[in-house]
Every structure is written in C-alpha cells, then in structure tokens.
Chain A
Amino acid sequence: MVPEIMYSEIKCVLCQRCVNACPVNAIKVINGKIHIDRELCNVCGLCWEACLNEALKVAGKEVTVKEVLSIVEKDRIFYERSGGGVTLSGGEPLMQAEFSAALLAACKKKGLNTAIETSGYQKWELFLPILENTDLVLLDIKMMNTDLHRKIIGVPNNLILDNARKIVELGKDIIVRIPIIPGYNDSIENLRNTAEFAANIGIKEVHLLPYHRLGESKYNQLGRIYNLKDVNVPSTNYIESLTQIFIKNNLKTQVGG
C-alpha cells in the first residue's frame, strides 16, 4: 500500500504550477487537461505544495500504530458517552493484516471498543490475531455462487464463507453486510441463499447496503476507471421488498449501516 496523488478537475484552474514543480516530469497538459503519469510519479508531494487551489493532494500516508492511536485518543471523550469506538474500514483492513492486528491490540489495551469492516478474504492464521482484539465484525457476503463470485469479484468465496463460520464459532459479534448491486447480486435466489446460509451458521443480524455512487469521483481523481457507471441506484421500495427474505429467516434486518 502506497500513497497516491489525487487530482480534482473541478478545482483545477490549469495554472500549470504543478507541471513546472514536478521533478520527474510526470505531469503534462494533454488536450487542455492535466494528465498524471502514475508510473513515473514517486509521490514526492512537490506538485501538491505548488498547487494554489487544492486541486492536487496526496491520498494515504504511512503511519505508525502510535500515531494512529494518538488521533483515536483525541475523541475518547465522545466514545465514553456514546459507547462508540474504533472501526477499521475500507480499503480493506485485512490487506494490512499485521498492522491492523497491532493497531486493534493497542486500542483494546486502551479499553476502546473495536470493530472491523471487511471482505473476510484472508488466511485464517492472519485473520485470527485481528479477531482476538475485535469486538464486532462487519462482514461482507457479496454472493453465494462461488463461480459467479470468482467471475465477478475475482476470487472464489469458500475462504470467506469458512471464515464466517469460524468467526461465529469464536463467539464474536458479527453482522453480515450485503451490498445490493442491481444486475450483479440482487437476484432473489442469491439473497435467499445468503439468508439461509447466515441463519444456518448462527448469524443473527444483516445489513442491506443499497448500491450508491459515492466512490465515483474518487476513482476519477485517482485516475482509475469506474466500471459501474451504468448501474442505477436501487429504489427504496425494491430494497424494502428484499428485506422480507431475511426477516423470514429470523434475521434482524436493517437497510443501511
């Protein structure tokens, strides 16, 4: 995981200060637009410093457990009142499993409530140390058909489902979260299978997360392609009808997280 430069076209006035500031010539103006060659860019930050309009900024930075903890500690007074705490979320905390484990352990040591939001895709021996210091697991189950899972998400789902079982066996609080993405995983069959699976292994609660497009501008700013442009946001009524499948399986069901 490395920091990346984010570029916002809306804020840019094309003054080209960044072009001149870049020591490796990674920024060019092509067809009246700023173009960043992300192969060349070494994220030195000079372009960001040169920009007067905050059109450029660095996304992500390297931090130590201690640094994160000092930020977390600042809001302790609010957690004490609300019973809130620390949630490690996306990206994906399991991609930095060792760091996540160390951070959660440090939070627990400070007496803070902890949660993770995860795809669940990680070897159990790396996952377990994280779970040891996690009070609540928010686990994505995107689809039950493993072939489709492999085709659309890129990996099979066995590991995720196995992990789900093991988390329940550990006695951890767990909530299954299902992003509802029209045309991909919103078939009645998939959702019924998910509900049955969850109920079978002893899960009590699910959250349905209707697809939204909040991520699109971030993709653009990072120079990545957003593949779900054509997917429509599902209607409230539709989502409401889907909740019935879960309620029938005696699962506490909520729309949104």
Chain B
Amino acid sequence: MLEAKVYCFDEKFRLPITPRIKKMREEIVEAKPILCSERAILVTESYKETENEPAVIRRAKALKKVLENMTVNIWDGELIVGNHGGNGRRSAPVFPEWGTYWLEKELDEILETRTQDRFIVPQKVKDDLKSIFPYWKGKTVYERYRAILPEETKKARDAYIFTRDLFERGGYGHVAYDTPKVLKVGFKGIKEEILEKLRKLEKTCAEDQQKRLFYEALLITSDAIINFAHRFSEKAKSLAATETNPTRKKELEKISEVCAWVPENPPRDFWEAIQTAWFLQLVVQIESNGNSVSPGRLDQYLYPFYSKDIEEGRLTIAEAQELIDCFWLKLNEIIKVWDKEATRVHPGFPMTQDVTIGGQTPEGYDATNDLSYLMLNAQEHIRLQNPQFTVRIHRNTPDEFLMRVAEVVRLGTGMPAMFGDEICIPAIIRTTGVPLDRARDYRIVGCVELTPRGLQGRANGAYFNVARIVDLAINDGVDRLTGEKIGPSTGDPNNFKTFEEVIDAVKKQMKYFIEQNVINNLIVDMVQRELTPHVFLSSIVEGCIEKGKDITWGGSLYGVTPIQCAGMATAADSLAAIKKVIFDDKKITMAELNEALDSDFEGEKGEQIRKILLNAPKYGNDDDEADRWVREITNIFFDEVESHKDIDGRPYTNFILTLGSTVPHGWRTGATADGRKAKTPVSDSMSPTNGADKNGPTAVLKSASKIDQIRIMQGNVLNLKFSRTALEGDMALRKFVQLVRTYLVDLKGMELQVNVVDAATLRDAQRHPEKYQDLIIRVAGYSARFIELAKELQDDLIARTEHSMI
C-alpha cells in the first residue's frame, strides 16, 4: 500500500489531448446508437440447447456462446480493445432474458422516433428479434415477476407511488467487483481457487451439490473470458499482418500480445493492467444489462503497475495518459436499450460506470497519486457522459489536488462529483458493519452509491415519491388525480385538530407504501434467483466463491438494498406550508386547501391560496422553521425503510436520488401544498425546489447539512448551479474550493455536484425566470442574480458565456 506522503502538483501532470484520442473521441460523438441482435440470437440458441440444465449452467453457457461467437472489432487507433455490440461504435445488444414484451411493442416505431434515446434499428435486426420473441413468451424475468406479484402490491406499484423501473426487467449491476484480485491472480488464479473448492466439497451433501453446479458454471465463464481475450489477440495479429503503417503495426502486435496474456494471467505492465480492467468492465455488461457497473478506484488499483513501469523506464507519463484516455473512450461505447418508461426515468443513456479517484488508503492516509491527476486530464480531454466520474475528499486532501479538481469541474460537465469521506465512511460502517479499513476503501458505484469492496447494493430498490405520501395523508389515502383510494384510511383531514395528526397520517401512509415497495422488491429478487444468476459477475465479487453462492443468492460478502427518496423538498415544503398556513396562522382551512389542490389552484381564490403557500417557509434557505420539516419527512422515510430486511436478510437503507424520475413522478402527482402545480416535476434529489432557495449557496449547504446524512448509506445528490464566469480566475476557484471543503469536511456533507451554466440555460432563464431564482452570475469582480438583470445585459452575458465556451 501507499505510504503517507505530501503530494505536490507538478505541471508535468497537465497534459494535452493527443490527435489519436481527439479523432477517436469525434468518432464516438458522431456514432449514432444502433441496436444489435447478435447477443439476443446467440443467447436464444444457447437457451434452446440447455433447457434440461439448471439456471447457473444455462447462464454460464449462454455467456460462453456469446463471447465465442459475437463479432470482435478493433477500431482504428485503439490501444485498449473489446467491443460491446457487433454493429458499430455505439451498438446496443439485447437481453431477452429479462423481458421482451416492451421490445415487441416498441421495436417497429418507438425506438426510432421517440423524443429521447433514439436508436437506429436495421431491418435485419428487426427480423432477427421478431424471430426470437415467440421463444421468450412467458419465460422472462418481467413476466414471471408480474405473474406472482400479489394483487395488493400490484395495485400500489401501478399507482406509481414507487417504481423499481428497469430493475424489474433488467439485471443487477451495482456491485463493487474485485479488480485488485484479478490484477493479482488473473483468471488462472481464480480457476485454481474454484478447483480447490470443488475438491473439498462434501459430495453427499445436498447443499454442496448446489455449490458444485455453481462452481462448474464459474469455470465455464472463466474460460469464456480468457478465450474472448484470445479472439482479440488473434484479430490484432491478423490486422498487424496487413498493416502498412509501421507504428500502428507495432501497436497491433502489442495488443495481440496483451490479449494473449490477460486476463488469464496477472498483468505484467500498466497496459495489461488497464486492458484487464476493461475486459472485466465489458464482460460484466455483456452478461447482463444491469446498470451502474463500475470500475471503481482505478487510480489506486493501477498505481503499482504505473509506478513500476515509470521507475523501470518502460512507460512515459504521456503514454500512460493515452492508455487512460482510451479506457475513458471505451466506457462511452457501452450503451443499453431500455423501454420508454425506463428512458423517462433515465434519459440520455446514463450507464453510470463510476470511476472514483482520491480519498484515503485503507490505513487512512491520503491516497492522491499521479494517476489521480492523469484521470483528471482524461476527464478534461474526453468530457463525455462516461465515466460517471467521482472524487473523494477528506480533511487531508491536498489543496493543489482540489484546485485541479475545481478546474475540471469548471469545464461544465458537472463532473467530477465530490464526496466527503468524513460522513461517507461512518455512514457505511453504521449500516453494513464493515471494518474500518474496508470502509475507507469505498468507491462510488453508479451515481452516488457508497460501496465498500465486496458489497452488493441491490440498487435500485425503487424511486419512492414522498411528495405523494404527504398528499395522501391530507386526502385520506385518495389519489388526488384519479380519485381512487390507493392508500390506507388515515382520517378525514378536516377533522385534524393539530398538525401532529397530519404527521401521524404521513407516518401511516409511509409505512403502508414502504411495505408494498419491499414486497415488490422481494418478488423481483426471488425471480432473479430462479432465472438469472449472474455467474460471471459472481466470479469476481468477494464472498461468492468462498460461500459457493451466486450474488443473486446473497453470495457477496456484504449487501444492502436502498430505496430512493424522490420529491423530498416538495414533501418537506408541503408540510411546512400546512403547518404555517393552516395550523399556525390559520389563514386558510384544510378544506380550502384540498379544494385548491383538487382544482390545481383554479380561479382567483385558487391563485391567492397558491401565493400564500408559495410564501410559506421553504427548505434551502438555512431557515430552521422550514428545515425542520425536511428532517421530519426524511426521518419518517428512513425509519420505515430501515425497519425492513432484504431477500438476503441484509439491511434496507436510504438513498436520496431522483435522476429523471422527477418528471414521471410529477405526472402522477396532483397539485401539492407547497404551491406546486399538478403534473409538474417533483423536487430533485436533495436539492431545494427550483427557485425556492433565495439566500445563495451557503444557505443551501447549511440546510442540507441538517438532514441526518449519516443514515443515507447509498448516497445523496446536492446540485449547485454556478455560471461559468463565477468560477473564473484563481481567486474565485480558491473560494469555491473552500466552499467545497466547508460542506464536505466541516458540515460533514456527503455529496456535492456543480453545474456550470451555459448559454442555453441562461436563455431558458430569460424565458422562465421563476425557475432560476438561485442563478448567480458573475460579472468582473461582482456577482448578481441573473434574473434581476435587464434583458439587454442578460443578452450580453449570454453572448459572453458563449464566447467563453470551449
């Protein structure tokens, strides 16, 4: 492990993008997403051949068939190789095992014409897919899940208080797989371990016979990835044979050599190490369509190979940079096709393959190293959606590192997201009980999920709309938009004498729906156990080989299932308004409120009531009167979630993240007591309602720090918006760094991400000033609220913003 050392930023670690990377980046940007039928056809053939075999073997053989027969491509200029689909740079394979019903419906028109996440679907692909649909009818995870879901839960799920969304029809991905182990022993070592386990089985014991099948499956997938790499080795060799450019010829020969060696054997150099990391990342995503498969702390895992190569003079910093950039680009080739509903929640192809840098070593020393800086360069060079890029910050994070992080944040990709070790590590230990050194070695998986090595997060355990819980509590369990009774009776709200009765009703509604949510998850997880063990993934997750259990059967060392809280600020502000307007000031009655909400604030009276509600205290202003209700609603949610155990008997935990679910949840949510109109989005993640925070970023951070973030073990998101000019110059950047440190270190905040606003946003702010109350724009040494400025000046600033765009 690394020693404690004081790191000094050296300009030699600031490197420009090379022509090779620039060209490949352009190719990826220009590549249109395309659907690929190869995997679907191969998996179907394999399933037909293995109908008499147990699920683990069927899954292993299906993966083997795919890896042996899918098209392998090596693109021009590539150093790190391995493709996801067969027909293009952004080619999406299909995973019929989890569900085909939606694809049948959407294949002909929707995929090519929907408003977001469109695909090219060649006729051959259509024909191929149509040929396999009949086979899968009744055999998929989704159909089995729906068939055995209890009626009551089905009703709650379909009322859309919660949605587990694509995880009801997709695989698992949120796992901290063990890259360091593969780098140490290779699949050769893993196979030896499995064989040793097989030898020691008690052959007359039923449980051990189950394990035997599992181990045999693992041997199949281990050989499959080795042979898959060999196919790339052969491909590179044949390309080298005809290559006329001597430099490229040498590169192809090296690629051939690398893929002949890894991941079968432990890597011998940095190149082989990074190629190994890519094969793991890729094959996990060919095995299943689970989301948020994350490479983890690459600056830590790869550092020993890098430093050895540099010391021995076999590698230059510039060469290391190009290899990292190649890896960054490969991550952007991964793309999945989802149905229309899932696309609404996750618009824009977020694969959320997280790379985490910085933070601490297991011993608690600062972990920043050369590679942390090179990965920041990679982000600066590539600036695409992947990786989901994260930096861990703790009290001893060096200033120069944080300044460099801030420089990259300023580029405006919203990344890296910044996490505070001071709260993350205690939060992990509180929920999972992992030892301190393991907790210190956590990485981010997916968007924000804190994940120590060996932990499987059954994320997501659903996006749960707490805004509607508050609304059901003041409407006796009746859905405001449909008039249908969906929740328990919690009393005629007109008879509530005190605000405490409202809170009691909220607790009862919460209890009921969290319970339904847990049942829904249990059914999905049961079906995944039965039909879709994740065999390859299990071979690289700590605990599975040891226990002889697949991850779907609780094989990982640790596990949690999180439920995502959506509409937090909407719910909290609704409570604050009900308390203030109805019970304290008695400005309106509960009946008047319900009437206004039912009519979506129609008419003169409705509008007046809306104004009164909008003027009630709001979360995000460092106002204790409002912030106490965000504490209240989150703690009610946390209490209910934490009272349950998941399918493996492991803890349920919390997650405050919405992604795009604010929109579909908004559609199903009538007008709310915070003054929000019906069917508009509910509030985002842990952020205040758009426009409700009027006291600047320090007040937002203070408000957020009042939530018991130690209970949010799977992470939260706090968005801050800055204009590009607000972060211009070293002084501004330094202040920004201090703001980040104050929140993450002193206030023990968990996560912070910064939007650097561009001209398009500013134009939207001109049209919809109500949504941009908090947008601070900096002009020379002076900052102002954008919406307060004269139109002409706004135009001027927009022009300037565009000018400063890179």
Q: Which residues of A does B touch, CB under 8 Å?
A: 10-11, 52, 54, 74-75, 77-78, 80-82, 84, 207, 209-210, 212-214, 216-218, 220, 255-257
- Closest beta carbon of chain A to B799's beta carbon, Å: 12
- State in angstroms the CA–CA spacing of A10 and B793 once bound together: 14
Could you tell me if B781 and A256 are in contact, using CB atoms closer than 8 angstroms?
yes
Complex Cα–Cα for A245 and B735 (A): 29
The answer, among B739, B741, B746, B790, for a CB contact under 8 Å with A220, is B790
Q: Which 7 A-B pairs have the closest CB atoms?
A: A256-B781, A257-B781, A82-B738, A217-B790, A81-B742, A256-B780, A78-B742
Q: Least Cβ distance of B609 to chain A in Å?
A: 11
* Minimum C-beta distance from B470 to chain A (A): 24
> Do residues A78 and B780 form an inter-chain contact, with CB atoms below 8 A?
no
Beyond A207-B781, A210-B780, A214-B779, whether A77 also contacts B793 by CB under 8 A is no
Minimum distance in angstroms from B409 CB to a CB of chain A: 17
Residues of A close to B788: CB separation below 8 A = 217-218
CB distance from A203 to the nearest CB of B (A): 19
- Residues of B700-730 contacting chain A, CB below 8 A: 702, 729
B108 within 8 A of A: no
Contact between chains at A81 and B738 (CB < 8 Å): yes
Q: Are B782 and A257 in contact (CB under 8 A)?
A: yes
CB nearest neighbor in B for A54: B770
Smallest Cβ distance from A213 to chain B, in angstroms?
6
By a CB distance below 8 angstroms, the chain B residues around A11 are 769
Asked if B781 contacts A217 (CB within 8 A), the reply is: no
Q: Which of A210, A213, A256 has the most CB of B within 10 A?
A: A256
Contact among B699, B742, B781 for A209, CB-based, below 8 A: B781
CA distance in complex: A72, B776 (Å): 20
B611 touching A82, Cβ below 8 Å: no
Measured between beta carbons, the chain A residues less than 8 angstroms from B779 are: 212, 214
Q: Contact at B735–A82, with CB atoms within 8 Å?
A: yes
Decide: A78 and B738 in contact? CB cutoff 8 A.
yes
In the complex, A81→B729 CA distance in Å? 20
On chain B, the residues within 8 Å of A52 by CB distance are: 607-608, 610-611
Q: Is there an interface contact between B742 and A77, defined as CB atoms closer than 8 Å?
A: yes
Q: How far is the CA of A214 from the CA of B738 in the complex (A)?
A: 27
The 8 Å CB contact of B793, one of A207, A210, A214, is A214
Q: Is the CB of A10 within 8 A of B782?
A: no
Known: A78-B738, A256-B782. 15 other contacts (CB 8 A): A11-B769, A52-B607, A52-B610, A75-B698, A77-B742, A77-B746, A78-B739, A78-B742, A81-B742, A81-B746, A82-B738, A84-B735, A84-B738, A256-B781, A257-B781
Answer yes or no: B747 CB below 8 A from chain A CBs: yes
Cβ contacts under 8 Å, A82 to chain B: 735, 738-739, 742
B751-803 contacts to A, CB under 8 A, are: 769-770, 779-782, 784, 788-793
The residue in chain B whose Cβ has the minimal distance to the Cβ of A218 is B788
Interface size class of B (residues with CB under 8 A): 20 to 34
**Chain B CB within 10 Å, residue with most, of A77, A82, A214:** A214
CA distance A9 to B699 in the complex (A): 29
Contacting residues, chain B, for A216 (C-beta < 8 A): 790, 793
CB pair A209 B780 closer than 8 Å: yes
The answer to whether B789 and A217 touch across the interface, beta carbons within 8 angstroms, is: yes
Chain A proximity of B740: nearest CB distance (Å): 10
B622 within 8 Å of A by Cβ? Answer: yes
Q: Do the beta carbons of A74 and B793 come within 8 Å of each other? A: no
Given A52-B607, A257-B782, are A80 and B791 neighbors across the interface (CB < 8 Å)?
Answer: no
A183 → chain B, closest Cβ, in Å? 19
Cβ of B607: which chain A residues have Cβ within 8 Å of it?
52
Q: Identify the closest chain A residue to B696 (Cβ).
A: A75
Return 22 A-B CB contacts under 8 Å, by A number: A10-B769, A10-B791, A52-B608, A52-B611, A74-B622, A74-B698, A74-B702, A75-B702, A77-B742, A77-B746, A81-B742, A209-B780, A213-B790, A213-B793, A214-B782, A216-B790, A217-B789, A255-B781, A256-B729, A256-B782, A257-B780, A257-B781
A210, closest chain B residue (CB): B780
**Which residues of B are found within 8 Å of A256, using beta-carbon distances?**
729, 780-782
| Residues of chain A lying within 8 A (CB to CB) of residue B735 | 82, 84
CB distance from B373 to the nearest CB of A (A): 24
Minimum CB–CB distance from B620 to chain A (whole Å) comes to: 13
Query: Hey, which chain B residues are within 8 Å of A218, CB to CB?
Result: 788
Query: In the complex, how many angstroms separate the beta carbon of B720 from the nearest chain A beta carbon?
Result: 14
Contacts of B746 in A (CB 8 A): 77, 80-81
Which residues of chain A have C-beta atoms less than 8 A from B791's C-beta? 10
Q: CA separation between A207 and B781, bound complex, in Å?
A: 10
Chain A proximity of B628: nearest CB distance (Å): 15
Give CA–CA (A163, B747) in the complex, Å. Answer: 42
Q: In the complex, what residues of A have CB within 8 A of residue B738's CB?
A: 78, 81-82, 84
Cα distance, A213 to B780, chains bound together (Å): 11
State whether B747 touches A77 (Cβ < 8 A). Answer: yes
**Residues in A whose Cβ lies below 8 Å from that of B747:** 77
Shortest Cβ gap from B792 to chain A (Å): 8
Q: How far is the CA of A10 from the CA of B787 in the complex (A)?
A: 10
* A78 and B698 contact, Cβ closer than 8 Å, known pairs A10-B769, A212-B782: yes
Question: A7 to nearest B CB, angstroms?
Answer: 13
Residue in contact with A81 in the complex, picked from B741, B784, B790, B792, CB distance below 8 Å: B741
| One of B622, B739, B782, B793 near A217 (C-beta < 8 A) | B793
Q: How far is the CB of A112 from chain B (nearest CB, A)?
A: 15
Q: In the complex, which residues of chain A have a beta carbon less than 8 angstroms from the beta carbon of B745?
A: 81
List of B residues within 8 angstroms of A207 by Cβ = 781
A11 and B699 alpha carbons, distance in the complex (Å): 26
Q: How far is the CA of A255 from the CA of B779 in the complex (A)?
A: 12
With A74-B699, A81-B742, A81-B746 known as contacts, the answer to whether A212 contacts B769 (CB < 8 A) is: no
Residue of B nearest to A81 (CB): B742
- B741 contacts across to A, CB distance below 8 A: 81
What is the CA–CA distance of A250 and B698 in the complex, to the nearest angstrom?
37
- The A-contacting residues of B in range 612-632, CB under 8 angstroms, are 622
How far apart sit A75 and B703, CA to CA, in the bound complex (Å)? 11
Closest to A83 in B: B738
Q: How far is the CB of B236 from chain A (nearest CB, A)?
A: 52
Known: A74-B699, A74-B702, A77-B746. A214 touches B781 (CB 8 A): no
Distance A75 CA – B745 CA, assembled complex (angstroms) = 15
In the assembled complex, the CB of B498 is this many whole angstroms from the nearest CB of chain A, namely 28
> Which residues of A are found within 8 Å of B739, using beta-carbon distances?
78, 82
Contacts of B610 in A (CB 8 A): 52
